[in-house]
Structure 1
Amino acid sequence: MTRNPTTRRSALAWLGMGASAVALGACGGTPANAQQNFRVSYSEAEWRERLTREQFRILREAGTERAFTSPLNDEHRAGTFHCQGCGNALFSSEHKYDSGTGWPSFWRPIDNGAVGYSTDRLLGYPRTEEHCADCGGHLGHRFNDGPRPTGHRHCINGVALEFRPA
């Protein structure tokens, strides 16, 4: 049986409406990495001043944007994706691919020190949460269903990213 990416995308979009609502509620809260010290650090008031309301919800409260809403999901130019919180280079367009999930996806970070990982159990099972290694901002999650050579899918909230063309 041949997979039809359009059918998969439509089904994911339909399911994503309900799943996003669950995820939006379940992923909100304090990121698992909130107690760590990071190179870039601000008070909650300073973060609120620096970020939009939605960026704060995603980056500082571990929120999730709705699937298929980020313009970066369809960004195909050469360039680099940086953390909206601190400007840290996180992902290269060379490692971006269309996962069909509705979020910008990458098969690897730009380098081994760009992102950090922690275990997120907010949905009742363990997931690998990704955060910016420099400021601790919540980016999304890493799954083990991505393409070769890594087999990873870094499923990232577009709101957490700033794209800088090459």
Structure 2
Amino acid sequence: MADGTGRPLRADARRNREKILAAAVRVFATEGLDAHLERIAKEAGVGSATLYRNFPTREALVEAVYRNEVAQLCEAVPDLLATKPPQEALRAWTRLFLDYVTAKYGMIDALRAIAATGGNPYGHSRDMIRSAITALMDACVAAGTIRTDISPADLGAALEGIALTSAGPEHRQRAERLLDLTLDGLKTRP
């Protein structure tokens, strides 16, 4: 993790930044994006000056939270593949994807506003997610558990479709059923 000049952050500064991002996710989830930034600083156990030094604007914080959530989602893949059979890892990751989309759903207006002002909150997120899906699908194909005629782009589009229609927490059961149907459709048949 680097500061605004590209220099690596000191360990204590990195920890503070991570605490702020984690607190922001919790506070935004419970209070919405209009939550007071001082509330986030208090929840993180840091002073307001520390929060503003890391994130000078609400938009900067929202964008950093979004990018951090994408990174955590994608960084989960190696651990899932190391601890579960490929098909189970894919299933577990799709549930993490739902969690990510549900969190992002609450930030969508703020992300759109950032994009409208010329920012790019989405950056490399689409490529990162596509790479995560590719790694999971490649492991499943190598294990012989999913069909080879489905591309990562196809599965990504299916996941996005499920997310668009079932992103809210009140639709979680339906989203899980749709994920199960989708993953069942990927399985190889004898």
Task: Normalising by structure 2, report the TM-score.
Answer: 0.26
Task: Normalising by structure 1, report the TM-score.
Answer: 0.29
- RCO higher in structure (CA 8 A, sep ≥6): 1
Give the structure with the higher percent helix.
2
Structure possessing the higher radius of gyration over alpha carbons: 2
Give the structure with the higher percent strand.
1
